[in-house]
A and B are shown apart, each in its own frame.
Chain A
């Protein structure tokens, strides 16, 4: 891994997306999009279905390759890296549906995400030492699963599975955390806990969230970007965006 040349950071942006376009058979799911995320900012992307929100996350984490444009994370061009390399430079991603390993225990789920022994030999000779155990315990209590470590993950409720996946990301300690609808399918009380959790875990990192639940967005967002047809429709604080007539027309109005 090349040394991170911190001096070259473009301003204080952790992530800058410039002129990003991806087209699927001519259809531009993301069209000349530019987006800048500052350090320790919680940015929420909202927008109607098919606006390209999830696609933006896919592009950042390398799941989808951009047709053109640049994604720069801490001075590094992400479009040239492979998925696992993007993770290793510090980008974590949570999927829309809880994506956990149901046949493994909660402990093992978290342990796998611990950022050590990530190649074949490292994994073969990985030792579950005190550092790993402490970290897993710490994260588990943070995500309200401290007493469920030995349970198979398949026995968790939907909301707990979402938390587990968030925990799996936290243990990687990414500088940019991307969450795709983290509260989808959660009960009201679970939503509250999740908002609290997000506030706590975002202290020393930037977060990019895709979410539909407006109450939740108001709870957590520093700034909001509204996407529509692959383009930025509006950007700013929640109040500003909410009163933007364009946003009301295409998204919030109905």
Chain B
């Protein structure tokens, strides 16, 4: 790509935001946090994938999904199935009545591996499935909803119902899914122990790199005509339709992209935290992920990541001291943000912090006795 093309893709302020974020995540965090805290940050960052998808889907396109946990979970479960199979070799499970199958299957009187588990012996299949399964599922939901012009609140409610259904399904089919406990006791990835400190460092960085890859993909979409079309659809869907576009296809596309982002986050969650359970699939986690995005700023891809980190950091601090109050605080935070700053922290920064910083910078030479008076406009 030419230099001007690159400039158009990443204007100065976006490039600066990207570099600052990269410095924080890739340099500052690993330098100043111990591995326990860093692993925690890594876990938070897996939610940032979901928030990033929501910026495209909800912020730009106006499609509010309250069921992104479904895709986070699907990605996470795909990865967990592979890891679980590796942890269930006949030698490691010799004490079971049927060795060679995951422990929870044995406890549920299953005597052979279900057919849909079989392909997850292969890592390449698993990596493909992490992307393809959620994308396909999102595509089916998207076609069913958007082609029939279901949107707005109705779509949000349906996604929420899907999140509830999937949770119930996972919990109910204990023998196949590990039930309410989820898939636990994951140990190695192709023989590489993922529970060691060094592995957690490496996974943190892989996670960070994937996050930045998704961030760039989101930026490409945002800066393309497709990104502007999403904004146009959010405002005047009919006008877009009567300008010759099949609106449903664009909605399906962005919903699938958001699903894929979420799924990558889910898979990285499983790798870093070492298990996957239905408590990351259902309604509550799905709504929490919307809150991360809302707090950070649903129109800003960078804001969503800061929002995710901040809310989770607050959650950890707060719930350590007042575990029962956390949910109320979270609800209040969401209502507060929506009422006072509908575009979140990113907007707050852009409308107040940035002008203030610029003013300070202009005043600085004058205060230092510099002869140059600030002639440049603030723009």
Contact = CB atoms under 8 A, between A and B. Distances in A.
Contacts of A172: 243-244
Interface string B241-260: 11111110110010000000
Contacts of B247: 84
B224 A125 contact: yes
A83 to B, nearest CB: 5
B239 A100 contact: yes
Given A101-B235, A103-B235, A111 B225 contact: yes
Given A83-B241, A112-B225, A101 B232 contact: yes
A88 interface: yes
A61 interface: yes
B140 interface: no
Contacts of B141: none
A88 B79 CA distance: 44
B232 A123 contact: no
A119 B249 contact: yes
Interface in A98-112: 99-104, 108, 111-112
A36 interface: no
Given A119-B249, A123-B225, A123-B229, A101 B236 contact: yes
B226 interface: yes
Contact of A84 (B228, B229, B231, B245): B245
Interface in B115-153: none
Interface string A132-162: 0000000000000000000000000000000
A192 B244 CA distance: 30
Contact of A124 (B226, B236, B246): B226
A114 B328 CA distance: 49
B203 interface: no
Contact of B224 (A87, A100, A123): A123
Nearest to B252: A120
A119 B246 contact: yes
Given A103-B231, A120-B250, A123-B224, A84 B241 contact: yes
Contact of A95 (B228, B238, B249, B253): B238
A104 B221 contact: no
Say which size band chain A's interface belongs to. 20 to 34
A118 interface: yes
B236, B238, B239, B242: most-surrounded residue (chain A CB, <10 A)? B242
B240 interface: yes
Nearest to B242: A93
B246 A84 contact: yes
Given A102-B235, A120-B253, A108 B244 contact: no
Contacts of B246: 82, 84, 118-119
A84 B244 CA distance: 4
B231 A124 contact: no
Contacts of A82: 246
A245 B224 CA distance: 57
A88 to B, nearest CB: 5
A104 B245 CA distance: 17
A120 B249 contact: yes
A241 interface: no
Contacts of A87: 242-244
Nearest to B224: A124
A50 interface: no
Contacts of B239: 95, 99-101, 165, 168
Interface string A72-96: 0000000000111001100011010
A226 to B, nearest CB: 26
Contacts of A102: 235
Nearest to B251: A120
Contacts of B231: 101, 103-104
A234 interface: no
Contacts of A99: 236, 238-239
Listed from nearest, the 6 A-B pairs whose CB atoms lie closest are A87-B244, A126-B225, A123-B226, A101-B232, A99-B239, A120-B253
Given A101-B232, A124-B221, 8 more contacts: A92-B242, A95-B238, A99-B236, A101-B236, A104-B231, A104-B232, A123-B225, A123-B226
Interface of B: 220-221, 224-226, 228-229, 231-232, 235-236, 238-247, 249-250, 253
Interface of A: 61, 63, 82-84, 87-88, 92-93, 95, 99-104, 108, 111-113, 115, 117-120, 123-126, 165, 168, 172
6 contacts: A61-B242, A63-B238, A87-B244, A100-B236, A104-B231, A126-B224
